[in-house]
Structure 1
Amino acid sequence: MTIEEKMDHFRSLSLESASSKSAESLSSYKQSLDDDLELHKETASQLAEESKKALMNQVRANSKKKLSSEQMKIKKELTQKQSAIKIEVFDRVREKLLEYRKTNDYLVYLENQIKNIMSEYSDVDITIYIDPNDSSLLDELKSKTGGNIEIYNKEFLGGTRTIVPEKNILIDNSFKTRLADQQDLFAITL
Protein backbone atom coordinates (compact mmCIF):
# COMPACT_ATOMS: atom_id res chain seq x y z
CA MET A 1 0.00 0.00 0.00
CA THR A 2 1.28 3.27 -0.97
CA ILE A 3 1.27 6.29 1.15
CA GLU A 4 -1.55 7.73 -0.77
CA GLU A 5 -3.60 4.61 -0.37
CA LYS A 6 -2.77 4.60 3.29
CA MET A 7 -3.80 8.25 3.50
CA ASP A 8 -7.05 7.54 1.70
CA HIS A 9 -7.69 4.58 3.93
CA PHE A 10 -6.87 6.67 7.02
CA ARG A 11 -9.05 9.51 5.77
CA SER A 12 -11.97 7.20 5.09
CA LEU A 13 -11.61 5.55 8.53
CA SER A 14 -11.35 8.96 10.15
CA LEU A 15 -14.37 10.23 8.26
CA GLU A 16 -16.34 7.10 9.12
CA SER A 17 -15.40 7.41 12.77
CA ALA A 18 -16.15 11.12 12.84
CA SER A 19 -19.39 10.51 10.96
CA SER A 20 -20.34 7.72 13.37
CA LYS A 21 -19.49 9.85 16.42
CA SER A 22 -21.31 12.81 14.90
CA ALA A 23 -24.40 10.70 14.20
CA GLU A 24 -24.25 9.28 17.71
CA SER A 25 -23.79 12.74 19.20
CA LEU A 26 -26.60 14.12 17.02
CA SER A 27 -28.89 11.24 17.99
CA SER A 28 -28.08 11.78 21.65
CA TYR A 29 -28.68 15.53 21.30
CA LYS A 30 -31.94 14.90 19.41
CA GLN A 31 -33.07 12.51 22.18
CA SER A 32 -32.17 15.10 24.79
CA LEU A 33 -34.16 17.75 22.90
CA ASP A 34 -37.12 15.36 22.54
CA ASP A 35 -37.00 14.66 26.29
CA ASP A 36 -36.82 18.39 27.02
CA LEU A 37 -39.75 18.98 24.65
CA GLU A 38 -41.85 16.31 26.42
CA LEU A 39 -40.96 17.78 29.81
CA HIS A 40 -41.85 21.26 28.52
CA LYS A 41 -45.18 19.96 27.16
CA GLU A 42 -46.02 18.34 30.52
CA THR A 43 -45.01 21.47 32.44
CA ALA A 44 -46.98 23.70 30.08
CA SER A 45 -49.98 21.38 30.37
CA GLN A 46 -49.77 21.43 34.18
CA LEU A 47 -49.41 25.21 34.21
CA ALA A 48 -52.39 25.57 31.88
CA GLU A 49 -54.45 23.26 34.11
CA GLU A 50 -53.41 25.14 37.25
CA SER A 51 -54.16 28.45 35.55
CA LYS A 52 -57.56 27.13 34.49
CA LYS A 53 -58.29 25.96 38.07
CA ALA A 54 -57.13 29.29 39.51
CA LEU A 55 -59.35 31.17 37.06
CA MET A 56 -62.32 28.91 37.90
CA ASN A 57 -61.71 29.45 41.62
CA GLN A 58 -61.53 33.19 41.05
CA VAL A 59 -64.77 33.11 39.06
CA ARG A 60 -66.44 31.06 41.83
CA ALA A 61 -65.15 33.42 44.52
CA ASN A 62 -66.36 36.46 42.58
CA SER A 63 -69.74 34.79 42.03
CA LYS A 64 -70.06 33.96 45.72
CA LYS A 65 -69.04 37.50 46.66
CA LYS A 66 -71.57 38.99 44.26
CA LEU A 67 -74.26 36.58 45.46
CA SER A 68 -73.51 37.42 49.09
CA SER A 69 -73.63 41.13 48.29
CA GLU A 70 -76.98 40.74 46.54
CA GLN A 71 -78.34 38.66 49.44
CA MET A 72 -77.28 41.36 51.90
CA LYS A 73 -78.91 44.00 49.71
CA ILE A 74 -82.15 42.00 49.55
CA LYS A 75 -82.10 41.38 53.31
CA LYS A 76 -81.57 45.09 53.93
CA GLU A 77 -84.45 46.00 51.62
CA LEU A 78 -86.64 43.35 53.25
CA THR A 79 -85.81 44.64 56.72
CA GLN A 80 -86.56 48.21 55.66
CA LYS A 81 -89.87 47.12 54.12
CA GLN A 82 -90.78 45.12 57.23
CA SER A 83 -89.93 48.11 59.39
CA ALA A 84 -92.08 50.39 57.23
CA ILE A 85 -94.98 47.93 57.41
CA LYS A 86 -94.57 47.60 61.17
CA ILE A 87 -94.62 51.39 61.58
CA GLU A 88 -97.70 51.64 59.37
CA VAL A 89 -99.50 48.87 61.29
CA PHE A 90 -98.81 50.47 64.66
CA ASP A 91 -99.73 53.93 63.39
CA ARG A 92 -103.11 52.47 62.41
CA VAL A 93 -103.41 50.82 65.83
CA ARG A 94 -102.73 54.19 67.49
CA GLU A 95 -105.46 55.76 65.33
CA LYS A 96 -107.87 52.99 66.35
CA LEU A 97 -106.95 53.55 70.01
CA LEU A 98 -107.70 57.26 69.67
CA GLU A 99 -111.08 56.41 68.13
CA TYR A 100 -111.76 53.84 70.86
CA ARG A 101 -110.96 56.38 73.57
CA LYS A 102 -113.85 58.52 72.31
CA THR A 103 -116.39 55.74 72.86
CA ASN A 104 -118.48 54.85 75.91
CA ASP A 105 -116.81 51.39 75.84
CA TYR A 106 -113.54 53.05 76.79
CA LEU A 107 -115.15 54.65 79.85
CA VAL A 108 -116.52 51.25 80.89
CA TYR A 109 -113.07 49.72 80.28
CA LEU A 110 -111.43 52.29 82.59
CA GLU A 111 -114.10 51.77 85.27
CA ASN A 112 -113.55 48.00 85.23
CA GLN A 113 -109.76 48.38 85.27
CA ILE A 114 -109.93 50.77 88.24
CA LYS A 115 -112.38 48.54 90.15
CA ASN A 116 -110.19 45.47 89.58
CA ILE A 117 -107.09 47.27 90.85
CA MET A 118 -108.97 48.64 93.86
CA SER A 119 -110.29 45.20 94.78
CA GLU A 120 -106.84 43.62 94.43
CA TYR A 121 -105.19 46.28 96.61
CA SER A 122 -108.08 47.08 98.94
CA ASP A 123 -105.88 46.74 102.03
CA VAL A 124 -103.45 49.56 101.09
CA ASP A 125 -103.58 53.15 99.85
CA ILE A 126 -103.15 53.44 96.11
CA THR A 127 -103.20 56.23 93.57
CA ILE A 128 -104.59 55.50 90.13
CA TYR A 129 -103.55 57.78 87.30
CA ILE A 130 -105.28 58.41 84.01
CA ASP A 131 -103.91 60.02 80.85
CA PRO A 132 -104.05 63.84 80.68
CA ASN A 133 -106.22 63.53 77.55
CA ASP A 134 -108.79 61.63 79.65
CA SER A 135 -109.12 64.48 82.17
CA SER A 136 -112.75 65.04 81.10
CA LEU A 137 -113.53 61.56 82.49
CA LEU A 138 -111.94 62.19 85.91
CA ASP A 139 -115.04 63.25 87.85
CA GLU A 140 -117.21 60.53 86.38
CA LEU A 141 -114.58 57.83 87.12
CA LYS A 142 -114.19 59.09 90.71
CA SER A 143 -117.94 59.03 91.31
CA LYS A 144 -118.45 55.56 89.72
CA THR A 145 -115.46 53.88 91.40
CA GLY A 146 -114.82 55.91 94.55
CA GLY A 147 -111.09 55.58 93.93
CA ASN A 148 -108.18 57.95 94.45
CA ILE A 149 -107.77 58.92 90.79
CA GLU A 150 -105.51 61.67 89.48
CA ILE A 151 -104.28 63.01 86.16
CA TYR A 152 -100.76 61.81 85.27
CA ASN A 153 -98.22 64.48 84.23
CA LYS A 154 -97.31 62.72 80.94
CA GLU A 155 -99.41 61.20 78.19
CA PHE A 156 -99.55 57.42 77.94
CA LEU A 157 -102.22 56.88 75.23
CA GLY A 158 -104.95 55.85 77.65
CA GLY A 159 -105.51 53.11 80.19
CA THR A 160 -104.26 53.55 83.75
CA ARG A 161 -101.13 53.57 85.83
CA THR A 162 -101.29 52.75 89.51
CA ILE A 163 -98.80 53.40 92.27
CA VAL A 164 -98.85 51.29 95.44
CA PRO A 165 -96.39 53.17 97.69
CA GLU A 166 -96.48 50.69 100.61
CA LYS A 167 -95.36 47.82 98.36
CA ASN A 168 -93.24 49.96 96.05
CA ILE A 169 -95.19 48.78 93.02
CA LEU A 170 -96.10 50.47 89.74
CA ILE A 171 -98.89 48.80 87.83
CA ASP A 172 -98.70 49.98 84.25
CA ASN A 173 -101.90 49.21 82.33
CA SER A 174 -101.33 52.06 79.91
CA PHE A 175 -101.94 51.60 76.22
CA LYS A 176 -98.51 53.11 75.50
CA THR A 177 -96.71 50.36 77.41
CA ARG A 178 -98.90 47.59 76.01
CA LEU A 179 -98.44 48.94 72.51
CA ALA A 180 -94.66 49.10 72.96
CA ASP A 181 -94.65 45.51 74.27
CA GLN A 182 -96.66 44.33 71.29
CA GLN A 183 -94.46 46.30 68.92
CA ASP A 184 -91.38 44.55 70.35
CA LEU A 185 -93.03 41.14 69.91
CA PHE A 186 -94.45 41.92 66.47
CA ALA A 187 -92.69 40.16 63.63
CA ILE A 188 -93.56 39.86 59.97
CA THR A 189 -92.89 36.38 58.69
CA LEU A 190 -92.78 35.26 55.12
Structure 2
Amino acid sequence: MTTDEKLQHFYDVSVESAKAEAAQEIENYKKALMKLLEEHKEEKIRQSQMELKAETDSAKRQINKALSVEQLNIKRRLAKKQLELRDSIISEVKNRLEEFMSTPDYPRYLCKKINEALEFADGDEMTIYISSNDASLMPTLVAQTNQQVEISSETFFGGLKAVIPSKNIIIDNTFSALVEAEKAEFTFDGGLSYE
Protein backbone atom coordinates (compact mmCIF):
# COMPACT_ATOMS: atom_id res chain seq x y z
CA MET A 1 0.00 0.00 0.00
CA THR A 2 1.30 3.34 -0.91
CA THR A 3 1.41 6.31 1.33
CA ASP A 4 -1.38 7.97 -0.60
CA GLU A 5 -3.53 4.92 -0.23
CA LYS A 6 -2.69 4.76 3.45
CA LEU A 7 -3.58 8.39 3.82
CA GLN A 8 -6.80 7.88 1.89
CA HIS A 9 -7.63 4.83 4.02
CA PHE A 10 -6.82 6.81 7.21
CA TYR A 11 -8.91 9.69 5.92
CA ASP A 12 -11.87 7.41 5.07
CA VAL A 13 -11.69 5.65 8.44
CA SER A 14 -11.39 8.98 10.27
CA VAL A 15 -14.32 10.47 8.36
CA GLU A 16 -16.42 7.36 8.98
CA SER A 17 -15.50 7.43 12.66
CA ALA A 18 -16.30 11.15 12.90
CA LYS A 19 -19.61 10.63 11.09
CA ALA A 20 -20.49 7.77 13.45
CA GLU A 21 -19.57 9.87 16.50
CA ALA A 22 -21.51 12.83 15.14
CA ALA A 23 -24.52 10.63 14.41
CA GLN A 24 -24.28 9.19 17.94
CA GLU A 25 -24.01 12.70 19.43
CA ILE A 26 -26.98 13.86 17.36
CA GLU A 27 -28.96 10.79 18.46
CA ASN A 28 -28.06 11.41 22.13
CA TYR A 29 -29.00 15.08 21.74
CA LYS A 30 -32.34 14.11 20.13
CA LYS A 31 -33.02 11.66 22.98
CA ALA A 32 -32.17 14.34 25.56
CA LEU A 33 -34.43 16.83 23.78
CA MET A 34 -37.24 14.27 23.55
CA LYS A 35 -36.87 13.52 27.26
CA LEU A 36 -36.99 17.25 28.05
CA LEU A 37 -40.02 17.61 25.78
CA GLU A 38 -41.84 14.73 27.53
CA GLU A 39 -40.99 16.14 30.96
CA HIS A 40 -42.19 19.56 29.83
CA LYS A 41 -45.43 18.05 28.48
CA GLU A 42 -46.01 16.11 31.71
CA GLU A 43 -45.36 19.25 33.77
CA LYS A 44 -47.76 21.30 31.64
CA ILE A 45 -50.41 18.56 31.83
CA ARG A 46 -49.97 18.37 35.62
CA GLN A 47 -50.19 22.17 35.91
CA SER A 48 -53.28 22.33 33.71
CA GLN A 49 -54.91 19.54 35.75
CA MET A 50 -54.15 21.43 38.96
CA GLU A 51 -55.52 24.65 37.45
CA LEU A 52 -58.61 22.81 36.24
CA LYS A 53 -59.14 21.27 39.69
CA ALA A 54 -58.66 24.67 41.37
CA GLU A 55 -61.12 26.32 38.96
CA THR A 56 -63.58 23.43 39.38
CA ASP A 57 -63.36 23.71 43.18
CA SER A 58 -63.81 27.47 42.95
CA ALA A 59 -66.83 27.05 40.67
CA LYS A 60 -68.32 24.48 43.07
CA ARG A 61 -67.83 26.88 46.00
CA GLN A 62 -69.46 29.70 44.04
CA ILE A 63 -72.37 27.46 43.07
CA ASN A 64 -72.79 26.26 46.66
CA LYS A 65 -72.65 29.85 47.90
CA ALA A 66 -75.27 30.91 45.35
CA LEU A 67 -77.42 27.91 46.26
CA SER A 68 -77.13 28.74 49.97
CA VAL A 69 -78.11 32.35 49.35
CA GLU A 70 -81.08 31.30 47.21
CA GLN A 71 -82.12 28.64 49.72
CA LEU A 72 -82.02 31.28 52.46
CA ASN A 73 -84.11 33.63 50.30
CA ILE A 74 -86.62 30.86 49.65
CA LYS A 75 -86.83 30.08 53.38
CA ARG A 76 -87.39 33.78 54.14
CA ARG A 77 -90.12 34.08 51.50
CA LEU A 78 -91.70 30.87 52.77
CA ALA A 79 -91.59 32.08 56.39
CA LYS A 80 -93.08 35.44 55.35
CA LYS A 81 -95.85 33.72 53.39
CA GLN A 82 -96.52 31.36 56.31
CA LEU A 83 -96.84 34.35 58.66
CA GLU A 84 -99.23 36.03 56.22
CA LEU A 85 -101.30 32.86 55.96
CA ARG A 86 -101.23 32.31 59.72
CA ASP A 87 -102.37 35.90 60.34
CA SER A 88 -105.08 35.50 57.70
CA ILE A 89 -106.30 32.28 59.33
CA ILE A 90 -106.20 33.83 62.82
CA SER A 91 -108.14 36.83 61.50
CA GLU A 92 -110.73 34.48 60.01
CA VAL A 93 -110.97 32.62 63.32
CA LYS A 94 -111.53 35.92 65.17
CA ASN A 95 -114.26 36.88 62.70
CA ARG A 96 -115.99 33.54 63.19
CA LEU A 97 -115.69 33.85 66.97
CA GLU A 98 -117.31 37.29 66.75
CA GLU A 99 -120.12 35.74 64.70
CA PHE A 100 -120.40 32.92 67.26
CA MET A 101 -120.67 35.48 70.08
CA SER A 102 -123.84 36.86 68.51
CA THR A 103 -125.56 33.46 68.38
CA PRO A 104 -127.68 31.77 71.09
CA ASP A 105 -124.93 29.13 71.38
CA TYR A 106 -122.52 31.64 72.94
CA PRO A 107 -124.36 31.99 76.31
CA ARG A 108 -124.66 28.17 76.40
CA TYR A 109 -120.91 27.92 75.78
CA LEU A 110 -120.22 30.35 78.65
CA CYS A 111 -122.54 28.38 80.96
CA LYS A 112 -120.72 25.17 80.03
CA LYS A 113 -117.34 26.76 80.82
CA ILE A 114 -118.66 28.10 84.15
CA ASN A 115 -119.92 24.63 85.09
CA GLU A 116 -116.55 23.08 84.13
CA ALA A 117 -114.78 25.64 86.34
CA LEU A 118 -117.21 24.92 89.22
CA GLU A 119 -116.49 21.22 88.89
CA PHE A 120 -112.75 21.88 88.89
CA ALA A 121 -113.03 24.17 91.95
CA ASP A 122 -114.72 21.29 93.79
CA GLY A 123 -116.57 23.55 96.21
CA ASP A 124 -113.75 26.07 96.76
CA GLU A 125 -114.57 29.75 96.49
CA MET A 126 -114.33 30.96 92.91
CA THR A 127 -114.90 34.22 91.03
CA ILE A 128 -116.02 34.20 87.40
CA TYR A 129 -115.15 37.17 85.19
CA ILE A 130 -116.65 37.99 81.81
CA SER A 131 -115.75 40.76 79.39
CA SER A 132 -117.54 44.09 79.64
CA ASN A 133 -118.76 43.40 76.09
CA ASP A 134 -120.73 40.44 77.49
CA ALA A 135 -122.29 42.39 80.40
CA SER A 136 -125.76 41.93 78.90
CA LEU A 137 -125.38 38.14 79.32
CA MET A 138 -124.69 38.35 83.06
CA PRO A 139 -128.31 37.81 84.24
CA THR A 140 -128.68 34.76 81.98
CA LEU A 141 -125.38 33.26 83.15
CA VAL A 142 -126.17 33.79 86.84
CA ALA A 143 -129.66 32.31 86.40
CA GLN A 144 -128.46 29.21 84.54
CA THR A 145 -125.37 28.43 86.66
CA ASN A 146 -126.32 29.75 90.12
CA GLN A 147 -122.86 31.29 90.23
CA GLN A 148 -122.07 34.95 90.77
CA VAL A 149 -120.45 36.50 87.67
CA GLU A 150 -118.48 39.76 87.62
CA ILE A 151 -117.41 42.12 84.87
CA SER A 152 -113.62 42.02 84.42
CA SER A 153 -111.63 45.23 84.76
CA GLU A 154 -109.41 43.85 81.98
CA THR A 155 -110.70 43.99 78.46
CA PHE A 156 -110.62 40.69 76.64
CA PHE A 157 -112.23 39.15 73.60
CA GLY A 158 -115.04 36.79 74.57
CA GLY A 159 -115.06 33.81 76.87
CA LEU A 160 -114.41 34.02 80.60
CA LYS A 161 -111.85 33.80 83.39
CA ALA A 162 -112.27 31.91 86.63
CA VAL A 163 -110.14 32.63 89.71
CA ILE A 164 -109.83 30.09 92.54
CA PRO A 165 -107.90 31.97 95.27
CA SER A 166 -107.47 28.98 97.63
CA LYS A 167 -105.66 27.02 94.92
CA ASN A 168 -103.90 30.02 93.34
CA ILE A 169 -105.43 29.05 90.01
CA ILE A 170 -106.67 31.21 87.15
CA ILE A 171 -108.63 29.41 84.47
CA ASP A 172 -108.33 31.51 81.33
CA ASN A 173 -111.01 30.48 78.86
CA THR A 174 -111.04 33.83 77.10
CA PHE A 175 -111.13 33.77 73.34
CA SER A 176 -108.17 36.18 73.42
CA ALA A 177 -106.03 33.63 75.28
CA LEU A 178 -107.22 30.74 73.13
CA VAL A 179 -106.46 32.63 69.90
CA GLU A 180 -103.01 33.70 71.18
CA ALA A 181 -102.20 30.13 72.23
CA GLU A 182 -103.19 28.82 68.81
CA LYS A 183 -101.23 31.59 67.13
CA ALA A 184 -98.10 30.68 69.13
CA GLU A 185 -98.43 26.95 68.43
CA PHE A 186 -99.58 27.27 64.82
CA THR A 187 -97.47 25.29 62.34
CA PHE A 188 -97.76 24.39 58.70
CA ASP A 189 -97.41 20.63 58.32
CA GLY A 190 -97.42 18.65 55.11
CA GLY A 191 -96.85 19.85 51.62
CA LEU A 192 -93.55 19.71 49.80
CA SER A 193 -90.38 19.10 51.77
CA TYR A 194 -87.24 20.85 50.59
CA GLU A 195 -84.83 19.76 53.35
| Alignment TM-score, normalising by the size of structure 2 | 0.81
Note the 1:1-190 alignment, pairs <5 A: 21-188=21-188, 189-190=190-191
TM-score if structure 1 supplies the norm length?
A: 0.83
SS of the counterpart of 1:172? strand
Q: Residue 173 of structure 2 aligns to a residue in which SS?
A: strand
Unaligned runs of 5+ in 2: none
Give, in whole Å, the separation in 1 of the partners of 2:93 and 2:73.
30
CA distance in 2, matches of 1:144, 1:41: 101
**Compared CA separation, residues 42 and 119, structure 1 to 2 (3 A):** closer
Deviation string 1:95-142 (CA, Å, 9 cap, x unpaired) is: 111121122211111122212322442421111111122122223322
CA 1:146–1:63: 2 relative to 1, 3 Å: same
Shift of 1:46: 1.8
CA distance in 2, matches of 1:177, 1:168: 19
Q: What do the CA deviations read for 1:37-92 (whole angstroms, capped 9, x no partner)?
A: 01101111122222223222322332222222222212211111111011001001
Name stretches of at least 5 consecutive residues in structure 1 with no aligned partner.
Answer: none
Amino acid at match of 1:145: T
Count of residue pairs brought into register by the alignment = 189
Q: CA RMSD in A?
A: 2.6
- Once the 2 structures are TM-superposed, how far is the Cα of residue 10 of structure 1 from its aligned partner? 8.1
Q: Residues of 2 paired with 1:138 and 1:166: CA distance?
A: 24
SS in structure 2 at match of 1:171: strand
Kindly provide the amino acid, as one letter, of the partner of residue 182 in structure 2: Q
Distance 2:56 2:80 in 1: 36
Q: Deviations over 1:3-42 (max 9, x none)?
A: x999998888776666555444333222211110011011
For residue 170 of structure 2, give the secondary structure of its aligned residue in structure 1. Answer: strand
Distance 1:75 1:67 in 2: 12
SS of structure 2 residue aligned to 1:162 = strand
Percentage of matched positions with identical amino acids: 33
User: Could you tell me how far 1:94 is from its partner in structure 2?
Assistant: 0.6
CA distance in 2, matches of 1:20, 1:118: 124
Q: What is the alpha-carbon distance in structure 1 between the residues aligned to residue 119 and residue 82 of structure 2?
A: 42
